[in-house]
Homo-oligomer: A and B are copies of this chain.
Amino acid sequence: MPQTPNTQTTNAPSPVPTSADVARLAGVSRATVSYVLNNAEAVRISEPTRRKVRDAAEELGYVPHAAARSLRAGHTRIVLLPTSNVLAGPLHGAFLNELQWALRRLDYTVVQYGSLGLTGDEAARAWAELRPVAVISLGDIVLCARNVATLKRAGARAVITLGPGRVPGAHALVMDQAAVGAKAAAHLVERGRRRIGVVVPQEEGLGFFSEPRLAGARSVASAEVEPLPLAHTEESAAALAARWPSLGLDGVFAYNDEYAMLLMRALQDAGLRVPEDVAVIGADDLLIGRLLRPRLSTVQIEMPTGDHLAALVDRAVREPSHFTERHDLMTAVAVRREST
């Protein structure tokens, strides 16, 4: 940055206090400061000295430099959580909060890194620069084996994917979205439907969930499945409803409860009766489903608790080898209400 001719050998006189500043003010060495502030047990520091150091740090408003610390340490405690803020994903905010809490209790630094629109390669590089100790890929980005290798080479002791888990080298926490689609389709079949539409959201970042759900529905024999692209807008839903009669469908799995609500309303406005003319089922068991009339049938997904997942991550970090490759963490069950 050739903005100001820098007369000094170093950068602009950094006003940010370092441990050296604390040491100077306290009249001790930097080593002592480090010992005191990190409560080092290996070394015994006299109480007066501790006080002096603490007071000095307080007075200067000293905050340690995470980058310098982890550079020296050779590793970080960063758990990278790449997430797009897509609405209507099956990862509820509450779950993410829980997970963050649990990880923080285990002394990890949780960093959410927005990666929407990056390719797997770009994302993996960007993540690797931060040298995270673990990466929990929630599925916005599709990783390949090479990406996992990049991350591992950069020091990641655990690369965890939530999904069918086909990525070689990654720890897989199986959250089989296909099962969701399968349960939904099976439920519709059970209710006497055969020609089943499956909503595929057009919004970016949902493909990782919607594709397996569609595939799962397809896997149900005795069901004839028709993919239905749908954007999260009234217009899109109305258009779909308008051509509904020509589709000849008697049931629909609407990806999740939000899209189900949207579609169900459009169908009703188009004069179709739910569930008589068409049965509708959502997924994720959102609160809104129970507020609709007819009440929305849904596929309920049992998520692991944040604590549980955090513990798993911690174990993977400590003992990468002892981590069994696959963990089943999700069960899906269809809940019948009034729309099917």
Enumerate chain A interface residues (CB-CB to B < 8 A): 10-12, 14-17, 61, 63-68, 70-71, 73-76, 83-87, 92-94, 96-97, 100-101, 104, 109-114, 116-117, 125-126, 128-131, 149-150, 153-155, 232-234, 258, 261-262, 265, 287-288, 290-291
User: Are B131 and A65 in contact (CB-based, < 8 A)?
Assistant: yes
Chain B residue numbers with a CB within 8 Å of A97 are 84-86, 114, 116
* Contacts A66-B131, A67-B71 given; does A93 touch B100 at CB 8 Å: no
Q: How far is the CA of A232 from the CA of B291 in the complex (A)?
A: 12
Bound-complex Cα distance A61 to B93 (A):
35
Nearest CB of B to A8, in Å: 11
Q: Which 5 A-B pairs have the closest CB atoms?
A: A85-B93, A112-B112, A67-B67, A100-B114, A11-B74
Residues of B within 8 A of A131 (CB): 16, 65-67
Q: Are B61 and A149 in contact (CB under 8 A)?
A: yes
Decide: A63 and B112 in contact? CB cutoff 8 A. no
- A221 CB, min distance to chain B CBs, angstroms: 34
Contact B87 A94 (CB under 8 A): yes
Q: In the complex, which residue of chain B has the Cβ closest to the Cβ of A264? A: B291
Known: A67-B131, A87-B94. 13 other contacts (CB 8 A): A11-B73, A16-B131, A16-B154, A61-B153, A64-B129, A66-B129, A67-B68, A84-B93, A87-B93, A100-B116, A101-B116, A110-B114, A262-B287
B contact residues around A85 at 8 Å (CB) = 93-94, 96-97, 100
